[in-house]
Structure 1
Amino acid sequence: MQEVIVDLKVAPSTFYRWRRLGKAPRSIKLPNGDVRIRRSEYDRWLAEREDVA
């Protein structure tokens, strides 16, 4: 998840707020409590937000 935060250039608190509001890419919670985002899910999420200029 840290890679996504760095890639988006947002504060961790912003990303966690997006997650809480359901506006972040879908994530997977592992049995040890770690959270992961699949690359394909992240790419899909970004594509949905792309502006056509």
Structure 2
Amino acid sequence: MARDELLTVAQVLRELGGVSRRTFYRWRELRTAPPCIRLPNGELRIRRTALDAWLRDRAEGAA
């Protein structure tokens, strides 16, 4: 089984079409951001599958 890719916040922001870092961290405060993993050095990572699921849940017309 392939390992799930861990994305940096910068990679996620680029994929979301240039959402600002400030907006992303605001979403985290509001608990509406995709689930993140905090590494021992304090950096955040987002699993590819978590980001894809988060995007699917926000699609217009999603059931």
Amino acid across the alignment from 1:29: R
* Greater relative contact order (CA < 8 Å, ≥ 6 in sequence): 2
1:3 aligns with 2:11: yes
Specify which structure has the higher proportion of helix.
1
- Which has the greater radius of gyration? 2
- How much identity, in percent, do the aligned residues show? 48
Runs of 4+ in 1 over 3 A off after TM superposition: none
Aligned position for 1:30: 39
Specify every segment of 5 or more residues in structure 1 that has no aligned partner in the other structure, as ranges. none
Helix, strand or coil for the counterpart of 1:33? coil
2-structure distance, mates of 1:50, 1:36: 22
Q: Could you tell me which residue of structure 2 aligns to residue 17 of structure 1? A: 26
Structure with greater strand percent: 2
- The alignment of Structure 1 onto Structure 2 pairs a total of residues equal to 52
CA RMSD of aligned residues (A): 0.8
- Unaligned regions of 5+ residues in structure 2, if any? 1-8
Match of 1:39 in 2: 48
